[in-house]
Amino acid sequence: MPHQKDPQRQLLGQQSRVRGMMLGLALGDTLGAARGELPAAGPLRAGVSTQLACFTAEGIIRAQVRGNHKGICHAPGVVLHAYCRWAFLQGIETATMRRRWASHGSTPWPDGWLAAVPALAERRGSAPATVAALSRIEDGYERMATGSRGSHALTRGLPIAVTGLGGIAQSAAVAALTHGDAAAQSATVHAAVLAHHCLTRPAAAPGPPSGTGAPAGPALHAGVAALPSAGRPVTADEHDRLVTVLRYAQERPADRTRLARLAPDATAPSALLGGLYAAASFPGRTAVRAALEFAAGAPDGASVACVTGALLGAAHGAEALPAGLVARHELAWVLDTLARDLVTELDDSPSGSEYVPGWDPHWWDRYPGW
């Protein structure tokens, strides 16, 4: 009865890819912030991109829950609510956040299980454009954003890749909540498209284990080729730059001077180009740590390695990530849980819908649909 096990195997494979993306993102963020020089022992601390990506993933789940129960949902608004919970935990504009959100119901706010994770309440770097925009939330969605081109618009938006090309079209709107620069919004969409193609690339052919696995390169090439038909138009210059990056990775991989030129600063376009170059330079399953260490050498290593880890983790699955680093990361369980729950919600809503009862009576409490 092997055919009866196929759906289960497919689901487990999908979970592995999404877990790999989330955990790879976090390892890259941490390793990049440390410039590749991690302490020999002890927990590895999460960065601010990882914190925000956690709330993006939670926001996606809660938007899906709301859509199932209410029939309509403005997903970017639900993700904005998630970022406000992060801001409140960080002690940012707490009175404003309470006034904006705590009056919506009788249950304590912030709600949901993620708000109870202590590491998400600790300051782990700055996200100035995100903080500045959230501080102006009472001005309305249309007037919140700064003109920033900063990388956090992209790194925090990578989990949106799980929603498929239809959902990825909204990643520009999520970026635009806080980052008004068009190039930052475009880079966010393009990174999500690349991650989506890594998540959905064909599995390696069965056979004796080679130890290397199928490389991620074809998925990255397919993602770049698909950009002209993605939800947000790609300009000829943007597409040419990405095609050129792939050529650089083939002709002269892992060149630190080239990396510094492609990703000279902490902007979203730099994170995209640098992350793509690093991932394409080390496409093999056994080279993930080498890719992260190389990416960490970029001028803004945290954002570049964050993208590199997400792409390679999505392509190869969680099992390809360095186990010693994953085991030490303080948010490994949180990231793994969010990844599994994200796949579960998109595959089979545990809380049911407006007309269909759910099979998990606690799901709504964990992920309230608003």
Distance CA 23, CA 284 (A): 17
Q: Which residues of 275-307 are buried (b: 16+ CB within 10 A; e: fewer)?
A: bbbbbbbbbbbebbbebbbbbbbbebbbbbbbb
Distance CA 289, CA 292 (A): 5
Distance CA 10, CA 344 (A): 13
CATH number for the domain whose boundaries are 13-202+216-360: 1.10.4080.10
- Looking at residue 211, what is its pLDDT? 47
Contact 62, 370 (CB under 8 A): yes
Contact 331, 122 (CB under 8 A): no
pLDDT digit string, tens, across residues 260-290: 999 999 999 999 999 999 999 999 999 999 9
Radius of gyration of the chain (CA): 19
Q: Strands, DSSP E only, in 122-212? A: none
pLDDT digit string, tens, across residues 73-127: 999 999 999 999 999 999 999 999 999 998 766 789 999 999 999 999 999 999 9
| Ranges of each domain in the chain | 13-202+216-360
pLDDT digit string, tens, across residues 151-166: 999 999 999 999 998 8
- Looking at residue 298, what is its pLDDT? 98
